[in-house]
Each structure stands twice: as structure tokens, then as C-alpha cells.
A and B are shown apart, each in its own frame.
Chain A
Amino acid sequence: MRTILLVEDEFGIAGVLTVLLENAGYRVLSAGNGREGLQQLAVNRPNVIVTDYMMPLMDGAAMARAIRADPTFQDIPIIMMTSVREDIVRQHFDGYTAYMRKPFQTEVLLDLIARIAE
């Protein structure tokens, strides 16, 4: 079973995406901010990381930079899903695999994850 690490601070969005991903056959690991995301990585290795940008304590870009700097995890695909403009995201982290601007159609995200997780 493919594993997705979902890093999202907004309770409602995280809940809906978790249900959709689980229904699509994924195992979902959840984290409410970048710091928790890194803690999850210490014990689980996901196939794909789906992360928000703006979150408390540690943002998605800071987490992603830490992941890319770690040889153990640097090859894990990262999908950045955020309200932040892509050109601004790139100024902070340009090593993402895919970018999705919120709000988006969940089907589009699921298709993207399916393609990347293969």
C-alpha cells in the first residue's frame, strides 16, 4: 500500500483529504505543520509528501528544504499545495515535484498523486 504524508494545518482540509486518499487506497500519515512532518519522517517513509506552505511553527518550504537536504529522504516526491503564488514559493523552495494552487478540485490532486506515486 502506498503511503502519503499529508502536512496540512487546516483541520477541515486535512480531514477531507485524508478520507479521500484512504478511499483511494492510500495509507495516510498526518502532520499539522512542518515540524510534525519531519517527526513523521523519522519513523515512516512515505511514497509522496503533500504539503501546505503556510502553517504554524514551521512552514512547508522550510520542511521541504530540510527533506531535500537529507540524503535519506531527498528523493521523495513533494507536492506543494498552497494559496501562495508559485513564483513566490520558488523563491523559498524550488525543489518541489508539483505545485497546486488552492483551492483546487480534489480529483485533480488525486490524479496527480496517482501519477507521482506510481
Chain B
Amino acid sequence: MESEQHSQKLERVPSGISGLDTILQGGFLKGGVYIVQGVPGTGKTVLANHVCFNHVARGGQAIYFTLLAESHARMLQHLRPMAFFDDAVIPDRLYYASAYVTLEEQGLKGLLDLFRHEIRGQKASLLVLDGFVVAGLTAPSEREFKKFVYEVQAYAAVMNCTVLLLTSNEPGPVRAEHTIVDGVIELDDRLFDHRTERGVQIRKHRGSGFLRGVHPFRITAAGIVVYPRIEVAFASPSRRDQPPLGRVSTGIAGLDALIGGGLIGATTSVVMGPTGIGKTTFGLQFLARSRQEEPGLLFGFYETPERLKVKAEALRLDLVGLEVSGAVEIVWQPQGENVLDELGHRLLDSVRRRGVRRLFVDGLGGLIESAIHPQRISRFLSVLTHELRALGATTVFSVETRDIVGPTVQVPIDGISSLVEGMMVLRYVEAQGRTHRVLSITKIRDSAIDPALQAFSITSAGLEVIGPFQGYEAVLSGSAHTPPAPPEGR
């Protein structure tokens, strides 16, 4: 007997929403029924409308039913400024109607008949019911409600119509209807001290994998944007790691000579030091070596592009010219309430888009300050830097240390050494009534490094290594002193 194996791949209906399809691993299942739940104000209606407009833009047909929700006119008025909104598709491709009177007069049976009539009549491939909780309240029993959901699902599957049921149920406990539907998507808007962050979590996605946990999202002028958590989204780097790519000049000749010719390509280094010591200068010199075939990116948090250009000009670095030629891009993050994963994706997208080879992140504190859960930072950076290596970027993070002068170097993150291949510390040292700048190379993996402390200066030519800082001891305490003279006669 001849047997035939059928490989049936489940067909997907992409939401078209940036990031959401990533966490759904391709989108909704065609003909699947999904509950989208969250308390009022969490973004369910915007999300469902965004999915509808994306769906019809790809040639689908959608119906949006409401039950005691805001009026369609008001809803559309609120959606109109969003980039996805296109009133040319209403009503021929996207149809809005209220099902409340039908539910009130004919119960769940009438509502089901209405769905069947409209799915068939409009040849709908997507149906949204906004106000699903009202249908539940109308049900004479839990059994009847489950039966209704079951029948909706059966019809949706036969007609290949994907269904989104929006409900304002509190997130949390598993409800009877959850057992029947193909997926449960939960939206929330959590308060952390004085700050809120929206999050989306896939609770269930039958027959499909999904990225677990809460992923932040924003409601923007473009609509919903989901930022899959970096630790999950890039748990495996998107490309195979590159072998070491040779040396990449720091742009500081004296430093290159001390570390074997430069930083190892496609590795991550940090340059640490207190405010004003020269970290940004270091980064600008590093980026000044960018070329069109070796693009650079400055991903900054503190100094605006305009100020950076003035600073570069004072150092005789043609940052403007590099930017105009496309050799360098400056991506600046205004200081506000940033979302850690949004920053991570923006950084990776910027690197990927231009094939960036030289990356200067100024500074690490900007990422740390955006984290609602600081305990995430180490793992976040670990995954982020792995991905940057895989993309072939040689990365330098500036890290601001707390004390300007002192015996200890307070780094704002634990275990940073294990995350990076290179560590350079810039310090102020007081000796004989003068402040000196000193550089110590703490780590350059797989390289012979000169352990001597190096004096450096910042001049109009930038950061220049002067030479070993000699004649003093206890230099790293911040207060160097000359060693006592040996006792006479010895």
C-alpha cells in the first residue's frame, strides 16, 4: 500500500504590526479565534483596528463589530491621525457595524447567525468583536457561552476567517472560553513608581510557538509598535558569530600601539571614566576612521548631534563631512522615558540597516536608566552585544563612573567585565598639586597589553597618549604620591 505523507503547514494571517508578528512567530492562524484581553485603556481597540487596516491593505476583507463600545464615528475619529488609517477602504474592504441590538433581542444565537451572515455575505477573512465581555454577560450559563465560542470557532475555521474577540476582562485567571479559543493575547499598562509601560503577553497560541513573557509596546502615530524583549528575540544571534576580524584602529595611534594594533574586530569594549575625562572624544576619534565601506554609528543619549558636531570640529574631526558622505550616522535618543527594548531594537536596526562596522554608544547609562527592571540589564547587554558581534560591529560603549577622583571606580553595572572583550579606564589623578589624566588598559581579550598606566592629554588634536605615568605610586587611588626615598646606606 502506498502511503502519502501530507506536510500541512498552518497558514498564517500576519497582524502586520511591527514586533507582534515576531512574538506570534508569523501571525495569527488563518481561521483561528483569539481573545485579546486587557482592562480599558490598554490599547485593544487600536490594536484590533491596526490589524484590520493592515489586513485589508494586503487584500483581505474585514468586519468590525461592536457591542456597547464607543461609537464608530468617535472611534474612527480617534484613529484617523494614525498612519495606518485609510478611510478609502471603509466600507468596501473594512466594515463597521454594531451587533448590540441583535444580541439584546436575539441572544447569542442571533449574534452567531449575524456573524455567519456577515462573514458569508462580505466574504470576510477577518472579524473583530469589540465588547466580547458583553456577550459573556448576556449568556444564560457558562455552558451556553462556551457553546457560542465553540460555534464561532467552528464557523471561522470552515470559512477561513480569523476572529479577534476583544474583552475588558481583568488579566489573570484562565476562563472557560480560554480553553476553546486558539489564542489569548493580554495587554496591560503597568505602573512602576511614577512611570507606566505598556506590555503585551501571549498567554496561549495553539499549534504555534511564541515568544514568551511580557513584551513592551507603544501606541504611536504609526499605530501599535511591539518591542520583543531583546533577551528572548535574540536568544540566538540572528547570524553565525564571525571569526575575529583583525584589528580595528581606535583612531588614537598611541593607544593602538599599546593594544596590539587596535581593538579586535567585531568585539565589544567599554571606555570608562568620570564626566569630562574624554570618553566622547575617544568615541569621536574612533568614529572618525569610518568610511563608506566601513560605516560608523554614534548612538548617543546625552549630547545632541549639533553639540557633537561642534565638539568634533574643535578636535579637527570632520563629523559633518562623514555624516554627509554617509560614512557616519548619528542616532540620538532624547532623554525622557525610554523603553529599554525599544532602544535595543533601534540600535540593532540602525546597525543592520547600514551594515555598521564601527559603533560608539554614548553611553551605557542611557540604556540602564531606561530599564524598569534593572536586574534585566546584564542579560540584556549580554544578548545585545552577542548580536552586535554577529552583525560584525566593533562596539565601544562609554560608561560614566561616579567619582571624579577616588580610590574606587564605581561602575553602574555588575559583572561588566564578563560582557565585554575590552576595558579601558580613564581617570583623573592628583599629584603634586596638579590634575593628570591617566589611562589604564584593564582588558583586551586575546591580546598582549602594556600594563603600564599611561598619561594622556586632550588637545585640539584629540586624545593623545603621552607615555607611561611614572614616578608616582598609589596612582589609582586618585591621589598619587612619589614613593619615599630609600633609607640611606642601603
Q: Let me know if A43 is at the binding interface, CB within 8 A.
A: no
Interchain CB contact under 8 A, A11 and B100: yes
Task: Out of B68, B92, B98, name the residue touching A9 (CB < 8 Å).
Answer: B98
Which of chain A's residues 82-105 have a Cβ closer than 8 Å to chain B?
83-85, 88, 102-103
B70 nearest CB neighbor, chain A only:
A12
Minimum CB–CB distance from A89 to chain B (whole Å) comes to 9
Interchain CB contact under 8 A, A85 and B71: no
Minimum CB–CB distance from A95 to chain B (whole Å) comes to 18
How many residues on A have C-beta within 8 angstroms of the other chain's C-beta atoms? Answer: 18
Interchain CB contact under 8 A, B114 and A9: no
Q: Let me know if B118 is at the binding interface, CB within 8 A.
A: yes
With a CB–CB cut-off of 8 A, which chain B residues contact A22? none
Interchain CB contact under 8 A, A102 and B72: yes
Stretch at the interface among B83-91, B197-205, B421-429: B83-91
Q: Let me know if B99 is at the binding interface, CB within 8 A.
A: yes
Minimum CB–CB distance from A115 to chain B (whole Å) comes to 22
Interchain CB contact under 8 A, B71 and A32: no
Given A10-B71, A103-B77, check contact A55 B97 (CB 8 Å). Answer: yes
Task: Out of B71, B96, B104, name the residue touching A13 (CB < 8 Å).
Answer: B71
Cα of A53 to Cα of B92 in the assembled complex, Å: 11
Q: Let me know if B448 is at the binding interface, CB within 8 A.
A: no
With a CB–CB cut-off of 8 A, which chain B residues contact A57? 114, 117-118
Interchain CB contact under 8 A, B73 and A102: yes
With a CB–CB cut-off of 8 A, which chain B residues contact A85? 87-88, 90
Q: Let me know if A54 is at the binding interface, CB within 8 A.
A: yes
B99 nearest CB neighbor, chain A only:
A56
A8 nearest CB neighbor, chain B only:
B98
Q: How many residue-residue contacts, CB under 8 A, span A and B?
A: 64
Given A88-B90, A103-B71, check contact A11 B96 (CB 8 Å). Answer: no
Per-residue interface assignment for chain A, residues 55 to 94, with 1 indicating a CB less than 8 Å from any chain B CB and 0 otherwise: 1110100000000000000000000000111001000000
Cα of A53 to Cα of B97 in the assembled complex, Å: 9
Q: Let me know if B101 is at the binding interface, CB within 8 A.
A: yes
Q: Let me know if B74 is at the binding interface, CB within 8 A.
A: yes
Interchain CB contact under 8 A, B88 and A83: no
Interchain CB contact under 8 A, A103 and B74: yes
With a CB–CB cut-off of 8 A, which chain B residues contact A9? 97-98, 101
With a CB–CB cut-off of 8 A, which chain A residues contact B66? 10
With a CB–CB cut-off of 8 A, which chain B residues contact A10? 66, 71-72, 98, 100
Interchain CB contact under 8 A, B68 and A11: yes
Task: Out of B65, B68, B96, name the residue touching A83 (CB < 8 Å).
Answer: B96
Q: Let me know if B350 is at the binding interface, CB within 8 A.
A: no
Q: Let me know if B210 is at the binding interface, CB within 8 A.
A: no
A59 nearest CB neighbor, chain B only:
B91
Interchain CB contact under 8 A, A103 and B97: no
Cα of A85 to Cα of B87 in the assembled complex, Å: 7
Interchain CB contact under 8 A, B88 and A88: yes
Minimum CB–CB distance from B449 to chain A (whole Å) comes to 68
Cα of A103 to Cα of B100 in the assembled complex, Å: 20
Minimum CB–CB distance from A74 to chain B (whole Å) comes to 24
Which of chain A's residues 1-60 have a Cβ closer than 8 Å to chain B?
9-13, 32, 53-57, 59
Minimum CB–CB distance from A97 to chain B (whole Å) comes to 20
With a CB–CB cut-off of 8 A, which chain A residues contact B97? 9, 54-56
With a CB–CB cut-off of 8 A, which chain A residues contact B101? 9, 11, 32
A36 nearest CB neighbor, chain B only:
B101
Cα of A81 to Cα of B65 in the assembled complex, Å: 19
A16 nearest CB neighbor, chain B only:
B71
Cα of A55 to Cα of B104 in the assembled complex, Å: 16
With a CB–CB cut-off of 8 A, which chain A residues contact B95? 54
Minimum CB–CB distance from B126 to chain A (whole Å) comes to 16
Per-residue interface assignment for chain B, residues 52 to 80, with 1 indicating a CB less than 8 Å from any chain A CB and 0 otherwise: 00000000000001101001111011000
Task: Out of A32, A56, A88, A103, name the residue touching B73 (CB < 8 Å).
Answer: A103
Which of chain B's residues 88-134 have a Cβ closer than 8 Å to chain A?
88, 90-92, 95-102, 104, 114, 117-118
Minimum CB–CB distance from B182 to chain A (whole Å) comes to 25
B118 nearest CB neighbor, chain A only:
A56
Minimum CB–CB distance from A29 to chain B (whole Å) comes to 15
Interchain CB contact under 8 A, B99 and A54: no
B96 nearest CB neighbor, chain A only:
A54
Cα of A94 to Cα of B328 in the assembled complex, Å: 57
Minimum CB–CB distance from A8 to chain B (whole Å) comes to 9
With a CB–CB cut-off of 8 A, which chain A residues contact B71? 10, 12-13, 102-103
B75 nearest CB neighbor, chain A only:
A83
Cα of A12 to Cα of B90 in the assembled complex, Å: 21
Interchain CB contact under 8 A, B114 and A84: no
Minimum CB–CB distance from A32 to chain B (whole Å) comes to 4
With a CB–CB cut-off of 8 A, which chain B residues contact A11? 68, 98, 100-101, 104
With a CB–CB cut-off of 8 A, which chain A residues contact B99? 56
Minimum CB–CB distance from B10 to chain A (whole Å) comes to 31
Given A9-B97, A103-B77, check contact A56 B68 (CB 8 Å). Answer: no
With a CB–CB cut-off of 8 A, which chain B residues contact A53? 91
Cα of A25 to Cα of B88 in the assembled complex, Å: 37
Cα of A56 to Cα of B96 in the assembled complex, Å: 9
Could you list 28 examples of A-B contacts with CB < 8 Å?
Answer: A10-B66, A10-B72, A10-B98, A12-B71, A13-B71, A13-B73, A32-B101, A53-B91, A54-B90, A54-B96, A54-B97, A55-B97, A56-B97, A56-B98, A56-B102, A56-B114, A56-B118, A57-B114, A59-B91, A83-B73, A83-B76, A83-B87, A83-B96, A85-B87, A88-B87, A88-B88, A88-B92, A103-B74
Q: Which residues of B contact A (CB under 8 A)?
A: 65-66, 68, 71-74, 76-77, 87-88, 90-92, 95-102, 104, 114, 117-118
